[in-house]
Amino acid sequence: MKFKFLGLACLIFIMGACKQSSPTETQSETASFPSFQISGKGRKASCVYLTKDEHSTPIISWVEIDTASREKAFYFAKMNTGDEKFGQPVSVPIPQNTSIHEEGMPKIAVKADGTLLALFETSEPLEGSKWGLGDVRYMQSFDKGKTWTEPRSVSPEDYAAQRSSSFSGLTRLSNGEIGMAWLGTHKDPSKEGRPVKFAKTIGRDSLSSPIVLDRKACECCRIAMAGNAGGGLIVAYRDLREGEIRDISVILSKDNGENFGAPISFSGDHWKIRGCPHNGPAVVARGNRFFVTWFTGKERISGVHYAELDSLGHVETRENIAPEGRFIQIGLMPNADRLLAYSEDYRDENQHIHSRIMVERTDGKKAFRKEVSRPDSQANYPMIEAVDKTDVVVAWTSDDQVFYRSLPEQTIDEPVGEILDLLSSGKNKTH
């Protein structure tokens, strides 16, 4: 498979990306609401992901690699709502050729009937291809993770034709099924970019035939998806437009993915880069509105951004959240307060470079933030979810381990200032 990469560009943005770890919890020595290590000792952990089950209870998943045997293991754990700690990890039997990287990490989703679905990417050698043959596969469990079905490809025709699939996203639809999107491969290897494809589960044993949503997207950024209670569905991804422009686009459906509209390139960053930045968007949905976060390296507006879109994909508000931010994720409280989590580089007093996890919330037109990772660490790739009406859980990877922290929303209390809408102000400033 021939992708158009620029090695240096990929290296810059992948640094710290995939630090690959039977799990124990270790309390850190910071703050009133401490962080906990959930990954196992003596193993390298990465690829942390947060979702919710059919009862809106948070679920965490992550990957560990044994430092001696190099054996890969995939775990998930459900939160105990009494103490807001995650319970006993459950192992998911992924194959050993599963690809371990943050932009295409293994993930868990839960159907409305409680069925667990694990989505992951495999890779195998392919003659004449530097990257090998990738395939997005899924397994299901109907007994809370005790047993799993055999892995199935989301795009078996592409796999049979040795066309790779990778960099997937997933979400639960309003009808209780799971929708999945991923990057495929063109039949003509001379074409630029990669097609965005979509399929969804149908009952216990079936998956719909893949359809193409966009024929030319960026080659190696994660896809994000979210659905609302009315059947609305949004797919957000880094697009590849003429002139190597790698902005963020969305595609909308009003009927759980039966039909889709045309791609909408809404971010307007005009970021031109000859190489994939390996930094995809995040998205949540509520009512008739969609909330998207992303990173851009465009001069003067570099950093992590946030936008609210209406039901047609039109941008209503937009903010530059943090110029030094990377890998931003988004969640919503039940009252619709916005939750953000991102990594941010900084220098200590000795000019050593570190990376910390910042979380942010809104309260009306004011924003507040808080540092949640341990001091002087290399913390990256956060995830964030509301626990209930008052509390939040954040998870991240730091120094080859996975940590999480539960805290009341109101303890995110360092004032950022009033929210500045870049659309109405006409200025490219942070809030």
Residue by residue, DSSP assigns 302-355 as -EEEEEEE-TTS-EEEEEEEETTEEEEEEEE-TT--EEEEEEEEEE-TT--EEE
Residue 268 in any domain: the answer is yes
Mean pLDDT, range 3-11, rounded to an integer: 40
* Residue whose structure tokens are 């910042």: 358
Residue 2 in any domain: the answer is no
**pTM exceeds 0.75, yes or no:** yes
Residue 431 in any domain: the answer is no
Mean pLDDT, range 201-223, rounded to an integer: 96
Number of structural domains (the chain) is 1
Rounded Cα distance between 236 and 162, Å, is 26
Residue 1 is predicted with a pLDDT of: 44
> Is the per-residue pLDDT at 197 higher than 70?
yes
Residue 149 in any domain: the answer is yes
Q: What are the Cα distances from residue 268, in Å, to 232, 245, 265, 279, 290? A: 24, 10, 7, 17, 17
Residue 38 in any domain: the answer is yes
Rounded Cα distance between 352 and 245, Å, is 33
pLDDT-derived band of residue 394, with 50, 70 and 90 as boundaries?
very high
pLDDT in tens, 56-100: 999 999 999 999 999 999 999 999 988 999 999 999 999 999 999
Residue 328: domain span: 7-425
Residue 194 in any domain: the answer is yes
Residue 430 in any domain: the answer is no
Residue 1 in any domain: the answer is no
Rounded Cα distance between 40 and 144, Å, is 22
Rounded Cα distance between 202 and 208, Å, is 7
The CATH number given to whatever domain includes residue 170 is: 2.120.10.10
Taking the CB of residue 148, how many other CB atoms lie within 10 A of it? 18
DSSP string across 244-260: TB--EEEEEESSTTSS-
Residue 365 is predicted with a pLDDT of: 84
pLDDT in tens, 262-274: 999 999 999 999 8
Rounded Cα distance between 61 and 78, Å, is 9
pLDDT in tens, 147-188: 999 999 999 999 999 999 999 999 999 999 999 999 999 999
